[in-house]
Chain A
């Protein structure tokens, strides 16, 4: 948890800066509106955290979000009665995609970067193959209420957060971190490494399903609803001090990372930094944040991992 402290400090500073520029932010309604907007990314980051801490990547979440929204719209087609069965199906699709990612990565030993990159191509291709190139149908009001209504979004976000924390405190969390830290040692001490990783991917898929429900609800059907979310989610997790390569970092910090990223976007927008240079600022901040974390590391109590940070996914 100590490692995670800087991100909360940064988040606090950003939130204060937003409040300074926009006093409405201090009112409950203003703050909750921010939380609601951040909810999908925070949930995706929580899901991505499980995968990353186990030593893997999930690049498929962005296209999975698009799939969920487009599938839901076509199947519901404006029919209120179809809401609940489709919601259940959306969750099942999320879990299923996660399971496939996990199985291919662990059982077929394909690096997760490639597995999920392939899944990204397959998902985005398949869904538009099915709908003929553009989304069709419409979401029902009952479906949209989860993402459109502030109270619902915040409630869902809170329960996802609590569930993630509880999961990491349970045995599963310990075995997950052990797996990401040192796969062989974990296996030798009786951890079912394969199963743990597959579950991690399933959780990420589930998170993408929930994020899809919220995003579809927030802004309706669109073909690019999930575009680029995979990189935002990974960035958020890393901002939270979670180490790519696995084994270290907390889920709360990962979610705080997502809030920080969203706060950063809001702030840049508020201060009217030109839309263009916004990306440059974002890039510099991300590198700086991770560099700060990495350079600080040798002085902390946690021993450096032998893997070497320059390593990509394996």
Chain B
């Protein structure tokens, strides 16, 4: 079960052994569904129920503004969550993304103010890759648990940010702000960027040897090692990719905000929120199982919930309660499905 082929990511139901499917069919009608289908089904139900609730309240959930709003609001989290999916699939996790996003937004805005957009993008990529490299090396070579390693790196970045910046800095030129504000019909450019990142990750996971190795390492590192996978390299590369995603999210937020902001990552709670979105999308926190498609569903589900609450003007404290319950219930459902199939 742990060394499941990569194809399980996108089509878990088909990939499930026939025996499990039969058993599932007799036990529960839902057991046929993979977790990706479950999360998209939940998304659909949320949209329908939300639409009805908002309609009763006298509003309309599916206006152009809200549809655009849902996408704008989920793009940054979505991009981070794609990276987090890779890390979690490989049996790791990354708590440093929130601070890295802030750092990336500042690096981007400062260099753009100096005049170079490509230079800024390159610098953000370099900085995030470096942070990812440090995360990966500390985890693999120094044998520090991912939780502590990335928490430590997060603190290091926080210290540097606090030391260097005391508020928004830099300036993003008009040309780069198109990324954050333009849209084609109802689809914002930011959502396209998210889709591109997600497709790339999906491609890496399902069509390359790297993807196979990530699943193997996340499933059982010892087995992976014995079967010839260089587990350390896989984990380091995964953390570099995860940090790159955070860097891209930082670029996107810089373009939205028109400046670099040292608190944008933590205010958005991108660290824990991205982990929550990933597991909501059906990826197992222990690693080895799950995929990008589910994560996209998880992020959209959180964003639609947010939008419904926004429309109904529910206060933020109630939102937190609902989100907490939704996340735990979803993971409990996945756990139950796994044990029955």
Q: Which residues of A contact B (CB under 8 A)?
A: 57, 104, 108-111, 113-115, 117-122, 124-126, 128-129, 133, 231, 234-235, 238, 243-245, 274-284, 286-287, 290-291, 294-295, 297, 306, 308-314
Choose among B154, B325, B336 the residue that contacts A118 (Cβ–Cβ < 8 A).
Answer: B325
Q: Which of B151, B161, B320, B328 has the most CB of A within 10 A?
A: B328
A129 in contact with B318 (CB, 8 Å):
yes
B317 in contact with A129 (CB, 8 Å):
yes
Q: What are 30 sample pairs from A and B whose C-beta atoms fall under 8 A apart?
A: A104-B328, A109-B332, A110-B328, A111-B279, A114-B331, A115-B328, A118-B328, A121-B327, A122-B325, A125-B324, A128-B317, A133-B315, A235-B151, A276-B159, A277-B160, A280-B155, A283-B159, A286-B151, A287-B138, A290-B144, A306-B222, A309-B143, A310-B140, A311-B286, A312-B91, A312-B145, A312-B285, A312-B287, A314-B285, A314-B287
Report chain A residues within 8 Å CB of B156.
Answer: 279-280, 283-284
The number of chain B residues touching the other chain, given as a range, is 35 or more
Report chain A residues within 8 Å CB of B146.
Answer: 310-312
Report chain A residues within 8 Å CB of B323.
Answer: 121, 125
B315 in contact with A129 (CB, 8 Å):
yes
A283 in contact with B155 (CB, 8 Å):
yes
Report chain B residues within 8 Å CB of A297.
Answer: 143
Report chain A residues within 8 Å CB of B339.
Answer: 109
B317 in contact with A126 (CB, 8 Å):
yes
B149 within 8 A of A: yes
Report chain B residues within 8 Å CB of A104.
Answer: 328, 332
Give the docked Cα–Cα distance between A246 and B286 (Å): 14
Choose among A129, A281, A287, A295 the residue that contacts B153 (Cβ–Cβ < 8 A).
Answer: A287
A287 in contact with B148 (CB, 8 Å):
yes
Report chain A residues within 8 Å CB of B324.
Answer: 117-122, 125
CB-CB nearest 9 A-B residue pairs: A280-B159, A125-B320, A283-B155, A121-B324, A276-B162, A314-B286, A279-B159, A118-B328, A294-B143
Q: Whose C-beta in chain B lies nearest to the C-beta of A109?
A: B335
Q: Which of B139, B142, B235, B336 has the most CB of A within 10 A?
A: B142
Q: How many whole Å from A307's CB to the nearest CB in chain B?
A: 8
Chief secondary structure at chain A's binding surface: helix
Q: How many whole Å from B232's CB to the nearest CB in chain A?
A: 9
B151 in contact with A308 (CB, 8 Å):
no
Report chain A residues within 8 Å CB of B161.
Answer: 276
Contacts A109-B332, A125-B321, A290-B148 known; A295 to B142 CB distance under 8 Å? yes
A108 in contact with B332 (CB, 8 Å):
yes
Give the docked Cα–Cα distance between A296 and B335 (Å): 36
Contact with A along B269-304 (1 / 0, CB 8 A): 000100110010000111100000000000000000
Q: How many whole Å from A236's CB to the nearest CB in chain B?
A: 11
A310 in contact with B145 (CB, 8 Å):
yes
Given contacts A278-B159, A290-B144, A310-B91, 13 further A-B contacts (CB under 8 A): A104-B332, A110-B335, A114-B279, A122-B321, A129-B315, A235-B148, A279-B158, A283-B151, A283-B152, A291-B143, A311-B286, A312-B88, A312-B287
Choose among A108, A121, A287 the residue that contacts B149 (Cβ–Cβ < 8 A).
Answer: A287
Q: Whose C-beta in chain A lies nearest to the C-beta of B320?
A: A125
B163 within 8 A of A: yes
B319 within 8 A of A: yes
Contact with A along B82-126 (1 / 0, CB 8 A): 000000100111000000000000000000000000000000000
Contacts A108-B335, A274-B163, A306-B222 known; A287 to B320 CB distance under 8 Å? no
B336 in contact with A113 (CB, 8 Å):
no
B162 in contact with A121 (CB, 8 Å):
no
Give the docked Cα–Cα distance between A116 and B150 (Å): 19
Contacts A120-B324, A279-B159 known; A133 to B152 CB distance under 8 Å? no
Q: How many whole Å from B229's CB to the nearest CB in chain A?
A: 13
A286 in contact with B155 (CB, 8 Å):
yes
Give the docked Cα–Cα distance between A23 and B239 (Å): 46
Report chain B residues within 8 Å CB of A282.
Answer: 155, 159
